């Protein structure tokens, strides 16, 4: 990491950005950070100015349109932020000889696999969000800056911002009934673990595409049960099928039924594996009280 003397981080208000900033500070490294209001990555001239002024050697792109259901109504905006802007970042990174780290999602897959998805597996997104993130991947691959690092992850949550556990806890504390799908399988990924894994890949001078998640697998219903158990909050929790959920919310995005990612390439390159998601959830609770 020492060679990256000028680190530029976009989308600095987000959950993952907070975790990355924290991980960098633990190494006595600081990033030049930009919120969306400070640097809109869809503004090509603003991006060029930022690169010209700061001359970054490493870009951590945390800017994204991540509201999956809203992307169904805002697909053009999602494509602009998650897709075309990534291409502009890639072009600038290539021009300046900088390394670009970009994050994508398990939602680029359709969930028809019966085994964890490899980075090389064919993509087939079911939602506008998934399509927009795949567009970003394609732009990055097309422009192909020498130091590109693309990280796919899944079910991201963390202590700095709204996320699934945050939503569940708020609803449970308000006494609301919880109806959660039990037929979508994936892996919750803790932002602080994902940030550490990003730095581990950078330490290994990794380039290309990697899947990075916590280990173990679960479904949204069991994840919810674990959240309530971890925080010792009682709630009226009942399972519901994806089909019934979709009927009650026809405007919501279709999620893959199975989106477990194979992280063996990450482990091979770094010599590490992320911990089980249930252990990470415990640390999430502790982090909320920091």
Rounded Cα distance between 101 and 230, Å, is: 33
183-202 exposure pattern, b = at least 16 Cβ within 10 A, e = fewer: bbbbbbbbbbbbbbbbbbbb
Degrees to nearest 5, angle at CA 59 with 90 and 82: 55
* Cα-Cα-Cα-Cα dihedral sign, residues 239, 243, 248, 254: positive
Q: How many whole angstroms separate alpha carbon 260 and alpha carbon 218?
A: 9
Catalytic, 190? Answer no
Structure tokens at 76: 């053009």
Q: What is the spatial distance between Cα 273 and Cα 148, in angstroms, rounded to a whole number?
A: 22
Helix (H) or strand (E) holding 34, with range, is strand 31-34
Contacts of 206 (CB under 8 A, 6+ apart): 149, 269, 270
DSSP 116: P
Contact call for residues 169 and 226 (beta carbons, < 8 A): no
On whether the CB atoms of residues 189 and 244 are closer than 8 A, the answer is no
The single residue of 4, 103, 129, 190 carrying the catalytic annotation is 129
Question: 62: left (phi > 0), else alpha (psi -120 to 50), else beta?
Answer: alpha
Max CA-CA distance within the chain? 55
* Residues classed as catalytic: 129
């Amino acid at each position: 990491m020492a060679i990256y003397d000028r680190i530029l981080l976009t989308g600095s208000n987000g959950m993952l950005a907070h975790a990355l900033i924290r991980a960098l500070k633990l190494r006595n490294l600081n990033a030049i950070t930009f919120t969306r209001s400070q640097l809109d990555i869809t503004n090509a001239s603003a991006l060029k100015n930022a690169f010209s002024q700061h001359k970054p050697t490493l870009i951590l792109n945390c800017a994204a349109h991540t509201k999956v259901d809203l992307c169904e109504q805002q697909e053009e905006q999602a494509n602009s932020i998650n897709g075309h802007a990534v291409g502009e970042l890639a072009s600038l990174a290539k021009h300046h000889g900088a390394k670009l780290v970009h994050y994508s999602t398990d939602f680029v897959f359709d969930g028809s696999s019966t085994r964890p998805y490899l980075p090389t597996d064919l993509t087939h997104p079911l939602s506008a969000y998934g399509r927009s993130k795949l567009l970003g991947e394609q732009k990055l691959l097309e422009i192909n800056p020498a130091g590109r690092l693309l990280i796919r992850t899944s079910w991201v949550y963390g202590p700095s911002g709204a996320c699934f556990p945050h939503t569940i806890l708020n609803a449970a504390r308000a006494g609301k009934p919880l109806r959660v799908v039990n037929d979508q399988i994936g892996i919750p990924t803790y932002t602080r673990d994902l940030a550490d894994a990003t730095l581990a890949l950078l330490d290994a001078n990794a380039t290309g595409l990697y899947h990075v998640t916590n280990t173990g697998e679960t479904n949204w219903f069991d994840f919810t049960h674990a959240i309530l158990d971890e925080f010792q909050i009682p709630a009226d929790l009942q399972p519901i099928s994806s089909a019934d959920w979709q009927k009650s919310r026809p405007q919501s995005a279709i999620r893959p039924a199975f989106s477990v990612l194979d992280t063996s390439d990450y482990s091979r390159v770094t010599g590490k594996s992320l911990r089980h998601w249930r252990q990470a959830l415990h640390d999430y609770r502790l982090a909320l009280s920091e």
